[in-house]
Structure 1
Amino acid sequence: MAGSLAALSVALLAAGVMGYAVQRGATCMVAALEEIVAERRARRIVALLEAAAIVAAGMVAAQLAGFLPMPPADHLLTLHTVAGGALLGLGAYVAGSCVFGSIAKLGSGQWAYALVPPGFFLGCLTTGLVPTSARSEPMATSALLDQAALVAVPLLLLVGWRSRRVVRAARGGMLAEHVWSPHVATGVIGLAFVVLLLAVGPWAYTDLLADLARGRMAELALRLPLFLGLFGGAILGGWTAGRLKPAWPTARKALSCLSGGALMGMGSLLIPGSNDGLILLGFPLLRPYAWVALASMAGTILAAMLVARTVRRLAVFPELAY
């Protein structure tokens, strides 16, 4: 009993830290691709990749130490995977943020983004109407973990390099500024996820919403507090950074967040899984379905951005339409 309470306490703290880091990092797939299109920079994409690498390093270290929980089931790569990724991307574009970024914006007081999780839940209620690819390999291994000894050195070198910069910042009296800078805070998300993984197993708040939509109430007493801790951490992050400035939603923004969330929920049924779990679990585990789903999501967001830019340009110069 004491061990369970200790694990729950650690997991709650990790969930809160993750929410805090998500708000400080303000990194999501939409923001990352926007940066590429508008600024020709890829800092946010690099930060997300680094967070995934930190998760991979944590899992490899735990595997070598012999206390990594069983990897989650692998899923078949089908056309459903591609379609699901496209729906995730379209939903993120419509809402203006993915499920990660919605947490960050909620932490800044943009209350319209509180409708993304309910929208996601409503999208998941379409199970049975949306053709899903539910077949999986429950005992699936992972290319990453199968070769843990080979990949351990480069991954741990990355963690060591990051840790060295943290120590240097601490010596200079700038630890908080360094750790909660956008790039490093995104890495903290990966670290918090590893702690959650080891304390209570794989966890993503979108999985909770999907299971609730299917009537699966297993471990609700554990997962609901983690969900609340995640959002509480995001609010705390916005408040301590002076970013918590309440902005009440317009009807149009509320509709876009709700409908965008619903599209992402439907997409998660097809893959199955959403971008938080894909980036922090499927991607570092080298699951083919996760890589393809994320590529489809990113491609859809980029296409939507380019179409929108073209439409805006034609609206300013209508003669270009002829």
Structure 2
Amino acid sequence: MPSFYVIPLAFILGFALGRAATCTVAATERWIIQGKTDWLFGLLVVASWAGLVLFMLVAYFGRAHIPLDIEISGQLFFGAALMGLGAMVNRGCFVGTVGYIGTGKFSYVLSFVGLGIALWLARSDVLDLFGPVEFLPRTSVDESIAKQITLICFSVIALASLWLIFVKRKMAYLALVAIGISAATIYGTRPEWAYAALLNSFIQGQGLSVGKTIELAVVALFAGAIFSSWLKDRFKPQLGSWKFALANLTGGFLMGIGASAVPGGNDVLLMWTIPGLTLYGVVAYLTMIAAIALTMLFGKHVMPAVSARFQSASGGENIS
């Protein structure tokens, strides 16, 4: 089956990421510091639409890549907390990093360099903090009341987002819907397209994908984010200070190490693992948010300045 379709879908995903606040760190900061949960709700909108798309791919097309669940263990909690800490150091999760690069903050490219270093060290056993991940047999939706209830919740949230778009005219939610649909379609049919998977394939010496489709999709993702910011006059190229660059490198490295215990990392959790109805995805994502929140609360006396920095860096529209 031709897979060229992932390239325009990746462009749409990148474009939409530049139109709404989808960074877990920024959303958590908005909740902890400002007491507003609208950006966290926006992340639920993304996961809900992605979940419905994955369900339809399985139910009506019979073909979709669905994530397997893994055992809930101390290793999972530690890895997720490490991803949260890395996201804080980086000043953005990997989803937010795409948006920040789209606004011209090119020091965030080093986040992916840090990720690549972490993947290389983990693969070469130089830094082996975690044991092998234990995958569990997957149950179908028909066999799980919890999954059926989750799908109903996804449907309610999706309907609420449509009401906000068409009745309340909050068009930023349209971008969130586009993120969920495009991401789930890509992950559900070509899960190896993600930049983390691409870096891993390079480290393993697997070379380029057939027709260079995966590589072009990653390029299209960032091109879409940059084009989106440029249209809104938000694209302001800058390299940033060496301190910011070091934070990006370190944050990406920590998130990469954490991802070795939590398959896929934080972007995949939101756009594929949680929508794919895995328990570990929910546990890991909530743990990551808790780690970010606790870190923010611990340093609350310095957070007003940090808050302003996140607000200016998010690259997305306020959806309140």
Q: TM-score range by the shorter chain?
A: 0.7 to 0.9
Structure 2 match to 1:308: 299
How far apart, in 1, do the equivalents of 2:299 and 2:167 lie?
A: 44
Look up the SS of the partner of 1:74 in the other structure: coil
Structure 2 match to 1:206: 196
Contact 1:60 1:145 survives alignment (8 Å): no
How far apart, in 2, do the equivalents of 1:309 and 1:197 lie?
A: 37
How far apart, in 1, do the equivalents of 2:192 and 2:141 lie?
A: 18
1:270 aligns with 2:268: no
Aligned equivalent of 1:23, options 8, 18, 26: 18
Counterpart residue identity of residue 292, structure 2: I
Give the 3 Å change call, closer, same or farther, for CA 149–266 of structure 1 in structure 2. closer
Shift of residue 40 of structure 1? Answer: 0.2
Aligned equivalent of 1:261, options 248, 252, 255: 252
Shift of residue 110 of structure 1? Answer: 1.1
Aligned equivalent of 1:88, options 79, 83, 88: 83
Aligned equivalent of 1:131, options 129, 140, 145: 129
Counterpart residue identity of residue 42, structure 2: A
1:295 aligns with 2:286: yes
Give the 3 Å change call, closer, same or farther, for CA 44–210 of structure 1 in structure 2. farther
Aligned equivalent of 1:185, options 175, 181, 188: 175
1:194 aligns with 2:184: yes
Shift of residue 137 of structure 1? Answer: 3.4
How far apart, in 2, do the equivalents of 1:25 and 1:137 lie?
A: 34
How far apart, in 1, do the equivalents of 2:299 and 2:164 lie?
A: 40
Structure 2 match to 1:116: 111
Shift of residue 201 of structure 1? Answer: 4.4
Structure 1 match to 2:237: 246
Contact 1:235 1:244 survives alignment (8 Å): yes
| Aligned positions of 1:7-156 closer than 5 A | 7-8=3-4, 10-127=5-122, 128=125, 129-137=127-135, 140-143=138-141, 155-156=154-155
Shift of residue 160 of structure 1? Answer: 5.0
Once the two structures are aligned, what percentage of the paired residues are identical? Answer: 25
Give the 3 Å change call, closer, same or farther, for CA 61–210 of structure 1 in structure 2. same
Contact 2:46 2:271 survives alignment (8 Å): yes
1:219 aligns with 2:214: no
TM-score scaled by length of structure 1: 0.82
Counterpart residue identity of residue 280, structure 1: M
Give the 3 Å change call, closer, same or farther, for CA 211–266 of structure 1 in structure 2. farther
Give the 3 Å change call, closer, same or farther, for CA 54–256 of structure 1 in structure 2. same
Aligned residue-pair number: 299
Deviation per residue, 1:267-321 (Å, 9 max, x gap) = 11122220111111211223122122112211111111112224679xxxxxxxx
Contact 1:75 1:272 survives alignment (8 Å): no
Shift of residue 216 of structure 1? Answer: 4.5
Counterpart residue identity of residue 288, structure 1: L
Contact 1:120 1:265 survives alignment (8 Å): yes
How far apart, in 1, do the equivalents of 2:193 and 2:107 lie?
A: 25
How far apart, in 2, do the equivalents of 1:56 and 1:30 lie?
A: 22
Which of the two has higher C-alpha Rg?
A: 1
Counterpart residue identity of residue 199, structure 2: L
TM-score scaled by length of structure 2: 0.83
